[in-house]
Chains A and B, each alone.
Chain A
Amino acid sequence: MNDAGSQSEVDPVTRFEGSLSVQTERSMTDPPEGDVVMTLREVAVAFGGRTAVRDVSFDVRAGEATALIGPSGSGKTTLLRALNRMHDAERSATVTGTVRLGDLDVYGSDTDPTLLRSRVGMVFQRPNPFPTMSIYDNAVAGLRFNGVRKKALLDEAAESALAAAALWDSVKDRLKAHGSTLSGGEQQRLCIARALAVEPEVLLMDEPTSALDPIATKRIEELVGELKDRVTIVIVTHNMQQAMRVSDRCAFLLMGEDKAGELIEFGPTAQLFSEPSDPRTLDYVNGRFG
Chain B
Amino acid sequence: MTAILDSAVDPIVERRRAVQAAAASSLRRRKLGSMVALGICWLFLAIAIVPLVAVVVYVMAKGLPAWNTDFFTKSTTPEGVPGGGVWNAIVGTAVITTVATAVAVPLGLLCGLFLAESDGRAAQTLRFTADVMTGIPSITVGIFGYIAIVRNFGYSGLAGAFAVGFIMLPVIIRAGETAFRGVPRSLNEAAMALGARRATIARRVVVPTALPGVITGVLLAIARGLGETAPLLLTIFGNQYLQWNPTKPMSALPTLIYSYSSQPFADLVQVAWGAALLLMTVVLVLSIGSRLLAAYLQKERR
* Chain A residues at the B interface, C-beta cutoff of 8 Å: 84, 86, 89, 114-119, 121-122, 124, 126, 128-132, 141-142, 144-146, 178, 180-181, 191, 194-195, 198, 204
Number of A-B contacts (CB under 8 A): 78
Q: Does B262 contact A (CB under 8 A)?
A: no
B150-205 residues with Cβ-Cβ distance < 8 A to A are 184, 186-197, 200-201, 204-205
Give CA–CA (A129, B188) in the complex, Å.
11
Q: Does B208 contact A (CB under 8 A)?
A: yes
Q: Is the CB of B187 within 8 A of A130?
A: yes
Is the contact region of chain B dominated by helix, strand, or loop, or is it mixed? helix
Could you say which residues of chain A place their CB within 8 Å of the CB of B301? 131-132, 178, 180
**CB-contact partner of B209 in A89, A121, A132, under 8 A:** A132
Q: Which residue of A lies closest to B301 (CB)?
A: A131
Contact A195/B195 with A124-B186, A130-B187 known, Cβ cut-off 8 Å: no
**CB-contact partner of B205 in A116, A117, A130, A181, under 8 A:** A130
Contact A86/B209 with A124-B186, A128-B184, A178-B301 known, Cβ cut-off 8 Å: no
Give CA–CA (A116, B192) in the complex, Å.
11
Contact sample, A vs B, 14 pairs, CB 8 Å cutoff: A86-B189, A114-B196, A118-B194, A121-B194, A122-B193, A124-B193, A130-B190, A132-B205, A132-B209, A141-B204, A145-B191, A178-B301, A180-B301, A198-B195
Q: Is the CB of A117 within 8 A of B195?
A: yes
- Additional A-B contact list (16), CB under 8 Å, known A145-B201, A195-B194, A198-B194: A86-B192, A114-B196, A114-B197, A115-B195, A117-B194, A121-B194, A124-B186, A126-B186, A130-B187, A132-B208, A141-B191, A141-B194, A141-B204, A142-B196, A146-B194, A181-B302
Could you say which residues of chain B place their CB within 8 Å of the CB of A204? 193
Of B189, B208, B209, most A-chain CB atoms within 10 Å: B189
Q: Which residue of A lies closest to B298 (CB)?
A: A131
Could you say which residues of chain A place their CB within 8 Å of the CB of B302? 178, 180-181
Q: Is the CB of A145 within 8 A of B190?
A: no
Could you say which residues of chain B place their CB within 8 Å of the CB of A89? 188-189, 192
Contact A114/B189 with A130-B209, A131-B209, A178-B301 known, Cβ cut-off 8 Å: no
Q: Is the CB of B209 within 8 A of A145?
A: no
Give CA–CA (A30, B189) in the complex, Å.
35
Q: Is the CB of B189 within 8 A of A145?
A: no
Of B193, B204, B208, most A-chain CB atoms within 10 Å: B193
Give CA–CA (A68, B205) in the complex, Å.
30
Could you say which residues of chain A place their CB within 8 Å of the CB of B196? 114, 142, 145-146
**CB-contact partner of B189 in A119, A124, A131, A146, under 8 A:** A124
Q: Which residue of B lies closest to A131 (CB)?
A: B301
- Minimum CB–CB distance from B168 to chain A (whole Å) comes to 26
Could you say which residues of chain B place their CB within 8 Å of the CB of A117? 192-195
Q: Which residue of A lies closest to B209 (CB)?
A: A132
